[in-house]
Amino acid sequence: MNTNSDSTQELSGQLRLTILGLYHQAHAGHIGCSLSCIDLMIATLVLRKREQDTFLLSKGHAAAALYACLHHTGEISDRELATFYQNGTTLPAHPAPNHHRGIPFATGSLGHGLPIGAGIAQASKLLVDDGRVYVLLSDGETNEGTTWESAHFAVQHQLDNLVVLVDKNGLQGFGPTSSVLGDTAARAKWESIGFETVEADGHDVPGLLQILDELTATANGKPKAVIARTVKGKGVSYMENRLEWHYLPMNPTQYDQACAEVTDRYLTPLLNAAERTHV
């Protein structure tokens, strides 16, 4: 797929509209956290994941972002996507395994994605294959003891095929991460235990692609971490950096406003630019 800035901006806009549509249809929450990590998922799951690679969404409450990406890649059909959050669906509020190849494990309880990912990365090393493992964490998950146990495991076993992406939007369950357990997602913490660590703008897809390509270009014995600065609710003004949009559903007026803002921010500038080139 073409990965220039215009094409990735269009994809960011389209998948945000898909996410908003899913949550509006289900009258459900967890919107803000899906909007904060969708660009990270575009860079990894949509644009860089190869057939032999594994992607794990550890912050399972952002399930709609995962479903939107798997729908875009063709793994989830239109019919299946329309069942989101309904009785009998294979697409519940948190990812459920055994239905879709792109969802190999349940990650409803936070803190489990990195231990699973480290195990898969170790298995790839033992099997001498070149599969990579991408694990997307929330910054709140870096409070978890299981996260740090598996991080040390990855360093000890030189799992340079493991890439951790931390969605650092600064908000978790009941407040700012700074007021809960402090900045446990700080770059210095990951570097100090032996990760090759980079900070990035988590909404700059072309920049993220360049970083991922550089991190995975050579095997140096170090697991990788991308500390991505993000905005909870990115793309919708009344949701941005607002804790309540971790939980609230949208009413019809809010949904219309959210779709209009995403369209104006991501899609209309591209349409206008295309029209100018044909004048």
Q: How confident is the model at residue 237 (pLDDT cuts 50, 70, 90)?
A: very high
The chain-wide mean pLDDT, for the chain, equals 95
Look up the pTM and report it.
Answer: 0.95
Q: How confident is the model at residue 19 (pLDDT cuts 50, 70, 90)?
A: very high
Cβ atoms of 143 and 203 within 8 Å: the answer is: no
**Nearest CA to 231 among 92, 3, 32?**
32
Mean pLDDT of 43-63: 97
The pLDDT, as a whole number, for residue 276 is 63
Residue 196 forms beta bridges with which residues?
224
Sign (positive/negative) of CA torsion 17, 57, 199, 179? positive
**Nearest CA to 136 among 22, 236, 18, 36?**
36
Q: Residue 1 pLDDT > 70, yes or no?
A: no
Which domains are present in the chain? Answer: 5-277 (3.40.50.970)
pLDDT tens, position by position, 121-167: 999 999 999 999 999 999 999 999 999 999 999 999 999 999 999 99
**Nearest CA to 29 among 260, 239, 253, 257?**
239
pLDDT tens, position by position, 169-186: 999 988 999 999 999 999
The pLDDT, as a whole number, for residue 180 is 92
